[in-house]
A and B are shown apart, each in its own frame.
Chain A
Amino acid sequence: AQRVTQPEKLLSVFKGAPVELKCNYSYSGSPELFWYVQYSRQRLQLLLRHISRESIKGFTADLNKGETSFHLKKPFAQEEDSAMYYCALSGGTDKLIFGTGTRLQVFP
């Protein structure tokens, strides 16, 4: 079965502080992992995917198969990063499932 766990419902930091949003997954095969973001009053949208190994808006995420994790990190948070972040997993089919989300609040 596919499962995504985001243990933190809310993460609050001050501007300039490092951020790490945790994501763990359960899947017996080779998964594809994603981070989606929903800014206030906007649609849910893709932030990054692990296969691209890209850095978007200063965020990176590394797939750790040993720990079955895909944590999202940013060294210096900005106020505009405040949003809801969802980790997502796609397995052997097109099925795409999401974690419960973490709300990131960045204070000035």
Chain B
Amino acid sequence: GAGVSQSPSNKVTEKGKDVELRCDPISGHTALYWYRQRLGQGLEFLIYFQGNSAPDKSGLPSDRFSAERTGESVSTLTIQRTQQEDSAVYLCASSQGGKNTEAFFGQGTRLTVV
């Protein structure tokens, strides 16, 4: 079976443009997570979904960042008016839900804002 898939793998965009990052979780996984990994740094929590709802959006860095999930499946992370500090690898993960379940990660989207 397919794992977590993210697209695009790489994205180069001009400062000020909007970008949309996509995550296809493992089928049946109710929990979905987005993280940001800046060069040389750890995983910064952005947002997570239980089903289509996002109980905790506290990690979103600014109102330029938004995310949605539909059909308890695909999720998109949108960054509006991108800035150079948005350059990072954006990781998506999914799990069956529950405190003890394993999170499965995608390969990430490397975003470069020039």
Q: CA separation between A86 and B102, bound complex, in Å? A: 14
B35 vs chain A, min Cβ distance (A):
7
Bitwise, A73-108 to B at CB < 8 A (1) or not (0) is: 000000000000010101111111111110000000
Beta-carbon contact of A94 and B43 below 8 Å:
no
Question: Does B55 sit at the interface, judged by CB under 8 A?
Answer: yes
Which residue of chain B is the closest to A93 with respect to CB atoms? B55
Is B25 close to A, CB under 8 A? no
Does chain B have a CB within 8 A of A45? Answer: yes
Contacting B48 at CB < 8 Å: which of A36, A88, A96?
A96
Q: How far is the CA of A88 from the CA of B48 in the complex (A)?
A: 15
Does the CB pair B105–A45 fall under 8 Å?
yes
The number of residues on chain A lying at the interface, defined by a beta carbon within 8 Å of a beta carbon of chain B, is 23
**A43 close to B (CB within 8 Å):** yes
Asked whether B33 is an interface residue with its Cβ less than 8 Å from the other chain, the reply is yes
User: Does the CB pair A98–B43 fall under 8 Å?
Assistant: yes
User: A99 to chain B: which residues have CB within 8 Å?
Assistant: 42
On chain A, the residues within 8 Å of B3 by CB distance are 43
Other-chain contact of B100, A32, A45, A97 (Cβ < 8 Å): A32
CB <8 Å contact, B56 and A86: no
Contact B56 A46 (CB under 8 A): no
